[in-house]
Each structure stands twice: as C-alpha cells, then as structure tokens.
Chains A and B, each alone.
Chain A
Amino acid sequence: MSTIPQDQWYVAAYGREIGRELFSRTICNESILFWRTASGQVTAMSDRCVHRRFPLSQAPTRLVDDQVVCGYHGFTYGADGACVAVPGQTRVPRTARLRSYPVVEQDSFVWVFIGDPDRADATPVPRAPWLDSRDWTTVSGMEPLAARFGLLVDNLLDLSHETYLHGGYIGTPEVAGTPITTEVDDEAGVVRVARHMADAECPPFYSRSTGLTGRISRWQDIEYTPPCLYLLHSRIAPVGSVPDPDGTDPDAFHVEVVYAITPETDTSTHDFWAVARDFARDDESVSDFLAEQNRTVVLQDVEALDVLERVIAIEPPGYQELSINIDTGGLAARRMLTRLTQPVPAVS
C-alpha cells in the first residue's frame, strides 16, 4: 500500500514555472499537465490523451489559444479537460474528458489537490505568506530527491542533523546539544518543534547574511502541516536580545525557511525550498549568498537521503530503528502521516 496521503493539497510547482508552454510533473504517482490560460489561470489535467494515452506534454502536442491539441491524433481539449474535437468525426464521445485537478495559486506556489476533487473545498490550503510578501525578500528552488518523502520529513523535523551533515553552513555544536520542545495540535493538524539556543556560535549562513559577529541567540521554531508544508521560523539576534512585550522584535533578524515536500512517486520526492528574510532586502549579494548556501545544504540532504533510500530498498524486512529524544518531532509527524493514509468515509 502506498504511504502517500490522498485527499490532500500538494505543491506542484512555483507559479513562475507555469506559463503558455505545456508543463508536466508527476505528483503522487499521477502525471499531470499544467498550463496557464490566456487570462492567467493555471489549469491542471491528466497528461495522458484519453485516446491512446500519448503524453500531452510531448511535442508536437501544442497549445492553441486555450485548447490543447494532442500531437499524435489531434484530440483537442479545453481548459476544463473536456474533449471538444476528435479527428474525422463530428461526434465527441461523452466520456472523452481528461481528469482535471483542483488548483490554487497561492504564496508563489501552485497547489494541486490529489484525491477526490469533491473534498478539495473543505480542505484548507496551508499558508506561507512570506514568499510573495512585499515586506520579505525570498530566494527559492527545487531539487529532485530519489527517496521517499517520509525520509525528508524525518530529516526536517530533527534539525540536530545540522550539526553533523551541514557543519560549516548552518550547523554548529549547539543545535544537536540543545533540548527541544514538541507539541502536537491535532485540531489544527500541526506538529511544532521548538529549539531555542540562548548563546550559540553563529554559522556562516547567518554571520555573512546578517553581519552579526560573535555569539548569537538562535531560535528555531518548526511548524509542520502534514503532508506537504514545512515552516522553520528562524530568529537570529545578539545574545540576550528577546522580542519586546508588544511583539515587535527590532534587534533580531528573521528568516522563514519553507519546504514543500511533495511525493513524486512512492520512492521519489520534489524538494521545494525557499528562504525569506526581513533584512538586507535589497542586497542582491545577500540573496545570491543565501540561495547558493541553502541549495548546497539541500543537496547535502539529497545526497544523504538518496543513499538512505537505496539502503531501505534492499534491506530485509523487520529492521528495528532506534529513536531517542531528538526524534520526538519526527515520531509525531509519522503518526499524523499514518493517520492521513487511513481511509475516510466517502463524501455523501
């Protein structure tokens, strides 16, 4: 059985990736065709012609106005996926319709609903408002991961690995050495993991971007909304600095690190990452530095998790993992993911 939760919103792309060219991406084992109508709306439909399953993202399939013309035999589809013309006859079979997907473009992401479309409206799309806010500057990217999405969830819920896997970038001894607090909010469907380091070494990722030298107060507050959206609220400040009682925090630097964890297949994942900041907002050298650094960090994870996937693929059944205190958040996330894969009653 697949471990990919159904009836959920997943990030399929950045809005900037979808234009007037046909664009295909596999999301949760489903090959989906995306394009933008002349009025700017993103559409999502099956990337397989109903006739002989030719991939519609494949040339010479083309977009003519707001219709997709299959490059194999000319089956033509509208923006809602309905077939409007077939070759050599006037009658279009009633069943000639591509599966279409609910889509929401929000916070720079294109979200697609995987599962029963009738459940989409009642399922909230998680928010990451910093990514297209005028008050923040964001760098972002996506790296393909040849590993199941659960391994990336494990990775991101336990940041103690920063000390070992990302030393010299974002890892310092204090990350692995500082206890965490974990909270499960079943009602909101969120796992929160907090690690507040009062007096920590400043890693290059933050010293070069903020200009802070010496030791820092470093707060990491994770909010994971299974299955797809992961937020890391990162606060960097001089040692001893805390937010003012009114909630303002003028002495601190804030970074919102966002991941969208989207299964491509049961054993591969789209690893979307974004870093938004509220300082040095017009400094392109800081943008370039953070983009290069974060991509490097993501690729360090990718390399490790790709290896781990290959190990898991060939191991005999029954391997017993050992979990310790650092895994508290990851275990909570696994439980929520398991629950999301349980069947739910059909919509009446």
Chain B
Amino acid sequence: MVWLPGSDQLLGRCHCGAEHVAEEPVEVWEWLLAHPVGHGTADHPQTPELVGAR
C-alpha cells in the first residue's frame, strides 16, 4: 500500500495486480482482503488529488 506522494490518498495494490485508491487505510485493507471481490477492471486508480489543490 503506497501513500501517494503529494496527496493524502493511499494506493492499494493486490497480489493479483488490481489497484484501488482510497482516503484511509481501513478501506484499502478491506478492499485488499476482499480479493477477488471488487478487483475487476473498473478499479483502476483515480488520479490522486494534490493536497495543495484543496
């Protein structure tokens, strides 16, 4: 799980290759542990929001 540089977001990367971006770690761990549920192609990472852009 990578804390995306310049943002408050976390990128989760499953062993199957699927990725998921969220704002807090509990959600990302739940997504990772739910494999393969929700690990389809629709879960491409979103573009991280820069902290400074808020």
Contacts and interface: CB of A to CB of B under 8 A. Distances in A.
Contact of B2 (A181, A184, A324): A181
Interface in B1-50: 1-5, 8, 10, 24-26, 28-29, 32-33
Nearest to B3: A179
A184 B2 CA distance: 12
A331 B3 contact: no
Most buried by A among B2, B24, B25, B33: B25
Interface residues of B, number: 14
Interface string A317-348: 00000011101100110010000000000000
Given A325-B10, A328-B10, A179 B26 contact: no
A223 to B, nearest CB: 16
B29 A332 contact: yes
Interface in A161-192: 179-184
Instruction: List 9 tightest A-B contacts by C-beta distance, closest first.
Output: A179-B3, A328-B25, A182-B1, A181-B2, A325-B3, A328-B1, A331-B25, A180-B3, A323-B26
Given A180-B3, A181-B1, A183-B1, 17 more contacts: A179-B2, A179-B3, A179-B5, A182-B2, A184-B32, A325-B3, A325-B8, A325-B24, A327-B25, A328-B1, A328-B10, A328-B28, A331-B26, A331-B29, A332-B1, A332-B29, A335-B29
